A and B are shown apart, each in its own frame.
Chain A
């Protein structure tokens, strides 16, 4: 069975600092992994996805994530945080065929950005 674990329910960084949000997965089959962002009172927006094509995945808004099979990790990074990055971030794994219609989500990490 697939699962994801996000380390740290809250992360706080200063504007301009590196953003690192951690995600570890468990999967009995090659996983399809996703990062979503949720702003207050909004739905989820896809940031990026790993579908086995390349281990370093670039997404929107300057975010990227690296798939490391040996560490079962898919951490999300951004070199320089912006105030507008303050939101909740969710890592997810697809339960079959890479479909985004049936996802298992982590508990989420709330990112705060200090001026």
Chain B
């Protein structure tokens, strides 16, 4: 069974540009979460989607947005990129949200570098 697929794996963008990252969850999984990982702040929760609806959002500015499609694939978008947005962006998928015995499986991440 295929794992969580994130594309692209690496991305270089210029300050002020916008970027879209994609996440394809494991087949049958309907919940997708996004995390930002940086050396300074560590792993921080961005948002969680289930059935095309955002269930929770972390403490990030409005430049960070996301969506989920009917096939459970998710995208996140960052507009007006800043140098501090350089990070590894991780996507995790699980069967259902809110269930403690439902494991979240992480993708390998997209490494975004803003120059």
Interface of B is mostly: strand
What number of A residues sit within 8 Å (CB to CB) of B? 27
List of B residues within 8 angstroms of A103 by Cβ: 35, 43, 45, 104
Query: Chain B 13-43 against A: per-residue CB contact (8 Å), 1 yes, 0 no?
Result: 0000000000000000001110100000011
What number of B residues sit within 8 Å (CB to CB) of A? 29
Partner of B108 from A41, A90, A97, A102 at Cβ < 8 Å: A41
List of A residues within 8 angstroms of B50 by Cβ: 101
User: Closest approach, in angstroms, between the C-beta of A24 and any C-beta of chain B?
Assistant: 16
Whether, in the assembled complex, A35 has its beta carbon less than 8 Å from a beta carbon of chain B, the answer is: no
Partner of A96 from B44, B98, B103, B109 at Cβ < 8 Å: B98
Q: How many pairs of A and B residues are in contact by the CB < 8 Å rule?
A: 80
Contact between chains at A102 and B100 (CB < 8 Å): no
Partner of A51 from B97, B100, B106 at Cβ < 8 Å: B100
Q: Which of B32, B102, B104, B106 has the most CB of A within 10 A?
A: B104
Contact between chains at A99 and B98 (CB < 8 Å): yes
Contact between chains at A94 and B92 (CB < 8 Å): no
Which B residues are closer than 8 A to A by beta carbons? 4, 31-33, 35, 42-45, 48, 50, 55-56, 90, 92, 94, 97-109
Which A residues are closer than 8 A to B by beta carbons? 32, 36, 41-46, 49, 51, 90, 92, 94-108
